Amino acid sequence: MTESAAPAARSRVQTWFAARTPWQRRGIALLAGAAATLGHAPFQLAIIFVAAIVVLVWLLDVSSAQERRLRSAFSIGWFFGVGHFATGLYWVSSAFNVDSEAWGPIWGVPATLLLAAGLALFTGLGALLSMLAWTKDVRRIAAFAVGFFISEWLRGHVLTGFPWLLPGYVWTPGEPVSQLASLVGIYGLTLLTLLIAAAPATIADGNASAGRRFAPVLAAALLTGMGFGWGAQRLASSPVDPPGAQPNVRVADSGISQAEKWENRPDQEWRVLRRYLDATGPANDDNATTIVIWPEGAIPVVNFFTLEDPNFVGAIGRALGDRVLITGVTRREMQSDGLAYFNSAVVIDGVSGEARISQIYDKHHLVPFGEYIPFWSLVSNLNITPLQRIGAGFEAGPPPSRLVVPGAPPAVVLICYEAIFPGMTPRGDGRPGWIVVVTNDAWFGGGTGPYQHYAMARYRAIEEGLPLARAAAGGISAIVDAQGREVGATGLNGGAAEAQLPPARPETIFARWGAVLLLTLLAIIAGLRLLPGERRAAGKS
């Protein structure tokens, strides 16, 4: 007798879930999605994430028996996503409170819930895609992993993408399992994580033999163990403090809150500058620092654009001495159709107290509604402004490229939002020697947002095999090695961290063959769904 004709005996777990009403199951999905957030930074409780995914699989098992199974599956996936993104992205509301004059604090909560509801459409889509290939046996685990991977990949690319809280991030960066990102990137690790997390759901399969119920769990444990062992070996091959003459890097934050930074005072730019100079430290013969990094938009534009004031640039040069400063700035330039504004990073080379702006990078991947308003020509009459409140917003620059940094290897600069996207670092002949991230995490408030953002940035170091220096206003400023391990870091309250820049590793397999390996891995896991199902004798339960 074929599998499809076999009686569908249920376990107690499956019977309990099937006995719930549709709205009870949606409520359970909502709570499971909220619990899944505990898998991410700063908690990194991967076991809770696994439990949440197992509950989601059991809920989808019930949906598969419904008359409108696709509709039921989408609903379960959507409610799971709302719970996950509402708890994982609650800090978005903080951005609206920073400039209450323009937006008003009452907009924060509904805007965050609207964002969660929109992103949950992707988890609903993942559940629907999974249901198209669902089975009553262990093969549904492969269908689940592939369906949700496709939806997560789409979430990271559609409408500029928002790959925040990807399942692969539940592995603490810098620890062994995270090193798999150097092979298949964060999306490949996401696919593997979905497969591993869903596997324990088969233990409750009442219509399967004991071997079939436990085989996926054992396979997931073996896969996790192999990944852990390989990652541990990779870490052991690169000591945390390797020898070599590398420049000293200091990442510094003023410790000023976002509201205090934007106070409307005639000397505001100078007040903020003094705080950054205090965090930078003096330039003298005993100071080993050669490169200083300040965050995104370090100096506010209240009275003037700082790069346009020679007195201001001169004061920076005198404080630098012979050091190099990489800092985020807001700048403008005249173009044929008027003034254009850019969220930029500049390399300022200090030579005997004289400052020279030698390199400029204009942010390429802008934040929708935060840095520009999509379809501005259509909505300009609605009196909506970006959170940055600079006209219609910033203009996008060209993709990141290698910048010359005196006294250090060439660097690539990623500004804030750009650090959540894999693959933005140039490869091949354009490969830099390290990654610089400048960001303003003060928008995120003091909750989990800055920790999540920092964890994602560390994965860029692992994927590319490059050390990373990160200066974050209101976040964690740190120097990270090419395996994602901290070499030096601050807390959320500002200050400075300093360390010798760790060396780069050779170009990773992900950097060279990432797309090929990801597609191969996807094909292998999808192929598991095509394996024959278990045959059951007639009348067996």
Catalogue the long-range contacts made by 390-393 (C-beta closer than 8 Å, 24 or more residues apart).
390/301, 390/330, 390/341, 391/339, 391/341, 393/341, 393/366
Neighbours of 53 (CB within 10 A): 28
* Active-site residue (options: 152, 269, 296, 371): 296
Q: Measured between alpha carbons, how far is 372 from 340 in angstroms, rounded to an integer?
A: 12
> Is residue 252 within 8 Å of residue 496, measured between CB atoms?
yes
Residue type, 400: P
Backbone angles phi and psi of 2, in degrees to 5: -75, 165
Between helix 268-280 and helix 310-320 the angle, nearest 10°, is: 10
**DSSP assignments along 3-68, one per residue:** GGGS-----HHHHHHHHS-HHHHHHHHHHHHHHHGGGSTTT--HHHHHHHHHHHHHHHHHHHTSTT
Phi, psi dihedrals of residue 497, rounded to the nearest 5°: -130, 145
Distance CA 373, CA 233 (A): 47
Q: Which among 363, 371, 418, 498 is annotated as catalytic? A: 363
Distance (Å) of CA 369 to CA 119, 298, 372, 408: 16, 21, 5, 36
Its sign, for the CA torsion 514, 515, 517, 522, is positive
Query: In angstroms, rounded to a whole number, what is the distance separating the alpha carbons of residues 327 and 299?
Result: 9
Q: What tokens appear for 2 in the block?
A: 């074929």
For the question of residue 498 being annotated catalytic, the response is: no
* Residue tagged active-site, from 416, 463, 464, 498: 416
> From the CB of residue 274, how many other CB atoms can be counted at a distance below 10 Å?
14
Q: Give the pair of three-digit tokens for residue 253.
A: 């934050």
Closest alpha carbon to 73 in 132, 9, 32, 143: 132
Left if phi > 0, otherwise alpha if psi is -120 to 50, otherwise beta: which for 413? beta
Active site residue 263: no
Concerning whether 363 is annotated as a catalytic residue, the answer is yes
Q: What share of the chain is helix, strand, coil (3-state, %, to 5)?
A: 50, 15, 35
Which residues form the catalytic set?
296, 363, 416
